Amino acid sequence: MAHPSAKKSHRRYGSAYAACLCACAGFLLTAFWGPAAAAAQQGQEPLANPLPHPTSIILPAANRAPDANDRMEMQDQRLKRASYEAANAERKRQLDSDSALLLKLASELKAEIDRTPPDMLSLSIVRKAEEIERLAHDVQVKMKLTVGTD
């Protein structure tokens, strides 16, 4: 058995609900069948589908096969990309060897500094420190450089 308040609310809102349904139905009939009825009154053929639908989302130019110029451009891009990859691989190889040399020179410098007295600074220590500084700067520049990042 239904709840007693359900019957009361149905009675109270029933006419408003029915009026709303009638209004919606009238709107839908007018919106969809109104143009066809107006065309029939004027003696014209009603439109089969008044709303235009696109037949294709993809433009025909996107589906065409590449011509000779496009193929040549794609080949140039592949060659350029391959040369960039080769240049980046060479740069990485140089970074690896320079970093290994930098580590070797730094350990040699530390060993040489540990052997000398604290109040004495030799010319070989200064030259080795300058070489380490130059090599460290070169490594830093090579690390920032990347070829072909368009």
The conformation of residue 61, written as its DSSP 8-state character, comes to: G
Give yes or no for a contact between 102 and 136, defined as CB atoms under 8 angstroms apart: yes
The tokens describing 58, both together, are: 């993809």
Domain boundaries, the chain: 8-48, 87-150
| Higher-confidence position of 16 and 94 | 94
Residue 40, pLDDT above cutoff 60: no
d(CA 89, CA 86): 5
C-beta neighbour count of 142 within 10 angstroms: 15
Phi and psi at residue 132, in whole multiples of 5°?
A: -65, -40
The tokens describing 20, both together, are: 């709303």
The amino acid that residue 37 corresponds to is A
Determine the pLDDT at residue 3.
Answer: 53
Q: pTM of the full predicted structure?
A: 0.48
What pLDDT digit, counting tens, does each position of 90-146 carry? 999 999 999 999 999 999 999 999 998 888 888 989 999 999 999 999 999 888 877
d(CA 42, CA 36): 10
The tokens describing 105, both together, are: 């020179």
